[in-house]
Amino acid sequence: MRILVVDDAVFIRKVLKGILHEVGEEVVGEASNGTEALRLVAELKPDVVTLDITLPDYNGIELLRKIREIVPDISIVMVTAISNHEMIKEAMQYGAVGYITKPFSREKVEEVLQKIKSVRDKKAKLPLESREEVEETKENVSTMRDIVQLKDTIEDTASKEKESLSVFEAKSTPGQLAEEEKIFPETAEKNISEIGSGIETKDKNVLREVRLEKKKGEELLTISFSKDEYSYSIGKLKIGSGIIVSCEDCYLSSSLQHEYFYENSVIEGVKLEEINGSTIVIIYTKAKKYNVRESEGELSIILLKAKGSVSYSKNNKVLMLDNIPPNTISVTQLEDRKIKISVKAADIYLEEEKREVDDIIIKDFSIEKSEDGYDIIVTLHKEAVYELIEGKSVTGVKFTEIKVLRDIQVVHSEEETKIELVTNCEEYNVVLEQDQDKGITYAYLYGFAASPGLLNKEFEFKEEYIERIRVIEDKEKGLVCLVIYSPVKRLIVAKDRNKTVILARPNKAFLLYNMFQNILIFQNILPHEIEIDYDAVANEVFFLVKNRFVKLLEDPLLKSEDFETFSSIEVQRVENGYEGKIKLKTRCKVDISVSKDGTSTNLSLIPLKKLNKIKAFEYESKGAKSFLRFMCEGDIKYVVERNNTDRCLEVRVFTSSVETIENRRVEFQDGCVERIEFKEDIEDVLIYIYTDVIDYLVEFRDNMLSFVFEPQVIFVHSFVEEERVAIELSGIDENNIEIIKEEEVVVYEIKRRDIYIEKGIQPIDSKVVKKIQIVQDKNYKIMMHLVEEKVRSKVEKIDNGVYLIIEKYPTLEAVTINNINEHKSTIVLKFDLKIYEKLDYYLDEGLFILNLGEINANQENTLQQDEISKQIKSSQIIREVNLREEQGIYTLEVKFNYAKVNLIHKEKELIIEFEIVIAQIEASDQEIVISNVEINKTEVKTFPENGVVVIKVPENSGYFNESSLMIQSDRIKDVLLAKLWNESIWIVMIIMQPGEGIHVNREEDVIVISY
């Protein structure tokens, strides 16, 4: 067996684990606390758990219950000290199968494990059905507490050091132990099977098996004993229906259940009880007769079913059921003229057969076995109703022929809807009763019954002149009623080809035109029955008459006359009524109203251009917002769209006119709206509002069409230093700003109207600017009033905007060259002022050009040529330095050999750093890698047939020396490095074995030559 050891003492776990290994058991895991034990039980699913009764985080009893919740069939052995008898008793009540005490003895451990194996083996050998019955018995064991007893004695074993034994005196069944000890039934059964093994009764008879066998007309309950000879007595129960069998000097096998229940059997259940050495078998049954059959080791009780019979009386039209109780009979109507009579009685026996009946109503009947009794299927020649008649010993089903409404068929045409009644007779009367207020007509058929399928069905219609039909049957009055839902004014009964039919004909409606008032009249149609849809693009009116119960007739004049407002009207029948299209000559106001008499609908068509007007407008800029308002008259419909190409809003006011506005193009100097323009087409007015503002609100209220524009608010922050003033504008791009230099003022014009900047004047205390002024004349202008004119102005881009800068010209005081070592040189530019901005520079093929912008400089004083020339001669890198000026803009030009260039800002200094990076040629057995050169200017030629690779690098694209060559391959025969002074080119020649396959691959920063 697979065993889990749970104890908080390492030593105890080690000792117990050793004993278990000695007796040949498998220890699958160890746990030192309850939490770990629960996890291992769920994970490992062991057969047995040895459980210490006291743990640091769990009480042993509590942990026992939790383990059994995870694995109900697990065997749990408690581990405890000698003094814990009460806790052992409680553990047994909650499912422990045994216990062992500390210190351990191998004999006790082996004894407990042998008992567990014995119980598990017995359980495994039981058939599945028996095991299920055992479990069912465990659940119901509390019902047998009145017939079992148990006494419990626990020997005092305090003097025993190595083991403690709990002995229970078991008298009979698990129920006794469960009742007297108040423990779980499962625990009781295990304790009896394990502990009570010492009181076996080998000399007495044992009731081993109870089995049920069903045969035709009878059932056999067989009781099997362990011995061939047995003693018994039998009789009927005095209370209830059943038989009691007393088996004397006979014990009940522990493998049997104490109760058995049967379905669809003459035996409802069997109860087994063991009392004072005898076993009582109680058989619950309604069978009135039984026989007994004895054989060696078996007693059979034969229960006889009552014999029933079925016959048919042609004179009375009754199907008679003899010797069958009425409460077991039920009748069900089937389709296809069939009726099912169900007999639900397990103690009744009928012969299965099919019998032909020569009768005008019944064709035949058949008797078939069902799951819970018998079904009698009756086939009818014609429709009939049935009635159940109860007698003293016979129950009858009486059949009566009836007229039947079998089905309803509906045929529809544009002129009428025809309801055909399908019956089993030719001549009958239909009586109509109409409730016009509710739109319901009742059609009565007296002396009729309805087919069952019609009663559960409701007929619904989508195109017909009726909405739905429902069938009602009144069996007491013997009539069928058709409830017809339809708003048509009159339904009639007629004959059609010798058939009785109900006709529903539509109400009449008319479409007329009043040319004096421009009104279309829908006579006998109400407004809620019409839907109108006006298509402004096609200038058409679509109407839908949602009343399929009328026939719409058009006035012939509508086809012949030429009317002012429309050119044509088209009408056609659709599923739910009529739909039509009115083609208008001009845009009209379409309105629906009910006529004065309340029976019709008027559709008026008034040209909209006469009603809708734009009379005036006004514009104002207030703070950050701009307001544009149009005063209107009439029913104004409009749409607003953004035209990004023309940078404007297009407002289309449908079917309107501009009456009093003479100037159709108006420009504005302030705010965010540049101008507006008015245009008229055939029907509509177009208003173009030119603005770049995206955020705006539009509203029409009290005959006023209003626009509110909310431009982007630009905040102005100034940063003032003694010789420099900067203004920060967030959200502005440098391309939107134009610098205009005037006398004593620098103007920054912002070429955007979709922004708002607060206007005003700000005095400045600096040596370059005395005040800042912000105005708007269409565009915004930021004006810097200067203290002196010798300043420079610029726009500098930042992350989310720009700086507008006015600063004094910085003076370039000196340019010096420092040769740090043979691989590194610097050029230092010293100014009298701090350099704020990052300067632009150009770098290509040994030429570095730095744009210094507007500065003060004296080339002779700044570039001390003697000192510069001296430093250039001693430099391995710098070849020439020049300071150039063009229209007040200075640049520094440096020619140099190949080197990496870095520009460093330091307050009043600019440092240009040149550093040589030595080129590398690394060769291995597979490839040659060239690095630290300008890849795109390096030339590689290969001559595979000669085994030669030639590499050419311009002097200003790489620098080589002896350390450049790193050859680590025997495949390379020789490498030559040389510099052609006349061409300023480095040459590297690599010689290898002729015939090698050579491939050149240029990557991002290296050249790889593979071979």
pLDDT at residue 860 in the model: 66
pLDDT at 166 over 60: no
Ranking 24-28, 576-580, 853-857 by mean pLDDT, the lowest is 853-857
| pLDDT value at residue 169 | 30
Query: Could you give the CA distance from residue 931 to residue 917 in angstroms, rounded to a whole number?
Result: 10
Provide the residue type at 93 as one letter: Q
pLDDT exceeds 50 at position 196:
no
Q: State yes or no: pLDDT of 131 exceeds 60.
A: no
Distance between CA atoms of residues 678 and 680, nearest Å: 7
| Cα–Cα distance list, 448 to 330, 339, 420, 426, 459 (Å) | 24, 19, 16, 13, 20
Number of H helices, E strands in the chain: 12, 86
User: How far is Cα 1008 from Cα 1011, in angstroms, rounded to an integer?
Assistant: 10
Tokens representing 643? 């035209």
Size of the chain in residues: 1011
- Rounded to whole angstroms, the Cα distance separating 147 from 275 reads 6
Please give the structure tokens belonging to residue 710.
């909310």
Helix (H) or strand (E) holding 439: none
Residue with tokens 């493998």: 255
861 confidence band (pLDDT: 50, 70, 90): low
From 180-184, 620-624, 927-931, the region with the lowest mean pLDDT: 180-184
DSSP-derived 3-state class of residue 57: coil
Strands 638-643 and 712-713: unpaired
pLDDT grade for 158, boundaries at 50, 70 and 90: very low
Mean pLDDT of 506-526: 90
Contact 189, 174 (CB under 8 A): yes
The whole-number average pLDDT for the span 348-356 is 91
Q: Which of 689, 506, 703 is nearest to 614 (CA)?
A: 703
What is the mean pLDDT of the segment spanning 706-716? 94
pLDDT on residue 138: 37
DSSP conformation letters of 139-164:
HTGGGGGGG---EE-----TT-SS--
Tokens, residue 937: 């200017």
Indicate if the pLDDT at residue 874 is higher than 60.
Answer: yes
**Alpha carbon separation from 871 to 867, 881, 917, 956, 987 (Å, rounded):** 6, 11, 20, 19, 28
> 144-148, 620-624, 631-635, 878-882: which range is least confident on average?
144-148
184 or 854, which is more confident? 854
CA angle 32, 36, 41 (to 5 degrees): 115
What does the pLDDT read at residue 85?
A: 66
Strand, coil or helix: what is 64? helix
Burial of residue 507 (CB within 10 Å: 0-12, 13-18, 19+) is: middle
d(CA 920, CA 906): 33
Strand partners, 441: 434, 484
CA neighbours within 13 Å on the CB side: how many for 390? 6
3-state SS, 201-221, equals: CCCCEEEEEEEEEEECCEEEE
In which region does residue 277 sit, left (phi positive, over 0), alpha (psi from -120 to 50) or beta (all else)?
A: left
| 272, 225 Cβ separation under 8 angstroms | no
Report DSSP state, residue 647.
Answer: T
pLDDT, mean of residues 611-638 = 92
Query: Which strands sit side by side in the sheet containing 403-412, from one edge to the other?
Result: 448-450, 403-412, 417-423, 499-504, 491-496
d(CA 467, CA 504): 11
Share of the chain above pLDDT 70, in %: 91
pLDDT-based confidence at residue 516 (cuts at 50, 70, 90): confident
- Digit-coded pLDDT (tens) for 913-927: 999 888 999 999 899
Average pLDDT over residues 792-821: 89
pLDDT of residue 115: 86
Rounded Cα–Cα distance for residues 178 and 145 (Å): 8
Please tell me the least confidently modeled range out of 111-120, 467-476, 700-709.
Answer: 111-120
Beta-sheet pairing, 601-607 with 519-523: antiparallel
- Report phi then psi at 364, rounded to 5: -165, 170
Per DSSP, the residues of 741-775 read EETTEEEEEE--SSEE---EEEE--SSSEEEEEEE
Query: Which pLDDT score, from 0 to 100, does residue 107 have?
Result: 84
Strand, coil or helix: 287:
coil
Give the mean model confidence (pLDDT) for residues 396-407: 88
- The answer to whether residues 870 and 824 touch, using CB atoms and an 8 Å cutoff, is no
Beta-carbon contacts of 838 under 8 Å, excluding residues fewer than 6 positions away, are 905
pLDDT at 84: 61
Compute the average pLDDT of residues 668-684: 90
pLDDT at 514: 87
Pairing of the two strands 566-574 and 712-713: unpaired
Answer whether residue 301 shows pLDDT above 80: yes
Strand partners of residue 937 = none
> Looking at residue 922, what is its pLDDT?
93
Tell me what the mean pLDDT of segment 83-107 comes to. Answer: 78
**pLDDT at site 862:** 67
Residues forming a β-bridge with 618: 629
Strand 289-295 and strand 298-304: pairing?
antiparallel
pLDDT at 123: 66
| Average per-residue pLDDT for the chain | 85
Give the integer Cα–Cα distance in Å for 439 and 118.
84
> What does the alpha-carbon distance between residue 875 and residue 995 come to, in Å, rounded to a whole number?
44
Residue 583 in this model has a pLDDT that exceeds 80: yes
Q: Output 547 or 125, whichever has higher pLDDT.
A: 547
Question: What pLDDT, on a 0 to 100 scale, did the predictor assign at position 406?
Answer: 86
Can you tell me whether residue 346 is helix, strand or coil?
A: coil
**Burial (CB count within 10 angstroms: exposed 0-12, middle 13-18, buried 19+), residue 294:** exposed
| pTM across the whole model | 0.39
Q: For residue 510, what are its two tokens? A: 């008319």
Burial of 920 (0-12, 13-18, 19+ CB in 10 A): middle
pLDDT at 738: 93
- Residue 1004 backbone class (left: φ over 0; alpha: ψ -120 to 50; beta: rest): alpha
Asked whether the predicted pLDDT for residue 55 surpasses 90, the reply is no
pLDDT band at 698 (very low <50, low <70, confident <90, very high): very high
Is 83's pLDDT higher than 70? no
Report whether the peptide linkage leading into residue 103 is cis, meaning its omega lies within 30 degrees of zero: yes
Q: For residues 910 and 184, which has the higher predicted lDDT (pLDDT)?
A: 910
> Is residue 620 over pLDDT 60?
yes
Cβ partners under 8 Å of residue 516, min gap 6? none
The pLDDT, as a whole number, for residue 341 is: 94
Residue 22, pLDDT score: 87
Range in 382-391, 494-503, 677-686, 823-832 with the lowest mean pLDDT: 382-391
**Burial readout 64-101 (b: 16 or more C-beta within 10 A, e: otherwise):** beebbeebeebbbbbbbebebbebbbbbbbbbbbbbbb
User: What confidence score (pLDDT) does residue 970 get?
Assistant: 86
Phi/psi of residue 16, each to 5°? -65, -40
Q: Report the pLDDT value the prediction gives residue 133, as an integer from 0 to 100.
A: 39
The pLDDT value recorded for residue 873 is: 85
Q: Which residue type occupies 306?
A: A
Domains in the chain (CATH in brackets) are 2-121 (3.40.50.2300), 206-304 (2.60.40.3470), 307-401 (2.60.40), 403-504 (2.60.40.3470), 507-609 (2.60.40.3500), 612-710 (2.60.40.3470), 713-803 (2.60.40), 811-916 (2.60.40.3500), 920-1010 (no CATH)
**pLDDT at 153 exceeding the cut of 60:** no
Closest CA to 486 of 442, 536, 538, 539: 442
- At 170 the pLDDT is 30
pLDDT of residue 124: 63
Provide the strand spans (E) within 845-967. 847-854, 856-857, 878-886, 889-896, 900-906, 909-915, 920-923, 927-931, 939-943, 948-954, 965-967
Provide the 10 A C-beta neighbour count for residue 277. 12
3-state SS assignment for residue 116: helix
Where helices occur in 382-496 by DSSP H, the ranges are 452-455
Of 439-443, 671-675, 836-840, the one with minimum mean pLDDT is 836-840
284 touches 240 (CB < 8 A) = yes
